[in-house]
């Protein structure tokens, strides 16, 4: 009986030593497991790892859609009845019409205070209030405000004085050659005594022509029944047009409308 007890005790002691021997921790167990995986030839088996792309599904490119831009519409100036102004030229001529070719009415001296009550639709001349209203070039004025806020009175409200002696031209014609327009009209001769001075022109041609997308109002003078407008371009929303006046020292006969030639369609 004692021998059997001693044999069992020896077996238990041997088993306990085996469990506590060094080199058999978890990491060593994994190594032993890896070493145990061999091929039939005795060569250790090596696993080949295939790299996996982190993006198995292609990402579509990002498309940016521009936001709609606001169209800026210029705000029109409020219309005023009048503006105060002061003459800056030494002597400024005030004329019957809105341009240097019209008959002379009187002159304004430097420093004169005046009141402006209108303007033309497409040039730099403004209408001066007074007993005898007349036109001056705004570049010779200091204006307390923006002249573009004045009402447009020519053509329209402001009238040229009519000639009591001569009729207007009965007809006018125009021919286009690219950007130039050649105009002819019926001649209306006037007597030498009906000239204001040696600088007066017998005919005044008023032209609203297109330049750089804008309508420009231009007044031209001549003593012959023909003239050429050098620059009238395409591209304006308002059609170009014009008229002819007969001028003599007592007033004006007209206007005779010019049938303006259109641009050829391509």
So where are the chain's domains?
A: 83-154, 172-258
Task: Please give the CATH superfamily to which domain 172-258 belongs.
Answer: Immunoglobulins (2.60.40.10)
- Per-residue burial over 202-212, b if 16 or more Cβ lie within 10 Å, else e, is bbbbbbbbbee
Contact 96, 132 (CB under 8 A): no
End-to-end Cα separation, the chain, in angstroms: 131
pLDDT at position 83 over 60: yes
**The CATH number of the domain covering residues in 83-154:** 2.30.30.40
Structure confidence at residue 77 as a pLDDT band (50, 70, 90)? confident
Separation between Cα atoms, residue 118 and residue 10, nearest integer Å: 131
Contact 143, 116 (CB under 8 A): yes
For the chain, what is the mean pLDDT? 82
Q: How many residues does the chain have?
A: 266
Give the lowest-confidence range in 11-15, 79-83, 95-99, 247-251.
11-15
Q: What is the pLDDT of residues 15-74, one digit of tens each?
A: 444 444 444 444 433 333 433 344 444 444 444 444 544 545 555 555 555 555 555 555
């Amino acid at each position: 009986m004692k021998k059997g007890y001693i044999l069992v005790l020896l077996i238990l002691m041997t088993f306990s030593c085996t469990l506590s021997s060094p080199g058999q921790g978890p990491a060593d167990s994994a190594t032993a497991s890896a070493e145990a995986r061999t091929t039939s030839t005795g060569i250790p088996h090596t696993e080949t790892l295939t790299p996996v792309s982190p993006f198995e599904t292609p990402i579509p490119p990002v498309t940016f859609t521009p936001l709609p831009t606001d169209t800026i519409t210029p705000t029109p100036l409020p219309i005023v009845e009048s503006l105060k102004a002061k003459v800056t030229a030494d002597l400024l001529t005030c004329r019957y019409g809105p341009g240097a070719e019209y008959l002379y009415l009187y002159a304004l001296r430097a420093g004169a205070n005046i009141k402006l009550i209108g303007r033309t639709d497409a040039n730099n001349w403004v209408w001066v209030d007074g007993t005898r209203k007349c036109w001056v070039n705004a570049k010779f004025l200091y204006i307390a405000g923006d002249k573009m806020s004045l009402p447009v009175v020519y053509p329209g409200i402001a009238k040229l004085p009519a000639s009591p002696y001569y009729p207007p031209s009965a007809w006018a014609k125009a021919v286009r050659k690219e950007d130039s327009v050649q105009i002819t009209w019926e001649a209306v001769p006037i007597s030498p005594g009906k000239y204001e001075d040696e600088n007066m022109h017998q005919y005044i041609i008023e032209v609203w022509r297109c330049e750089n997308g804008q309508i420009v109002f231009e007044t031209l003078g001549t003593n012959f029944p023909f003239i050429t407008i050098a620059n009238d371009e395409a591209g304006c929303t308002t059609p170009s047009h014009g008229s002819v006046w007969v001028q003599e020292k007592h007033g004006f006969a007209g206007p005779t409308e010019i049938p303006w030639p259109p641009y050829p369609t391509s």
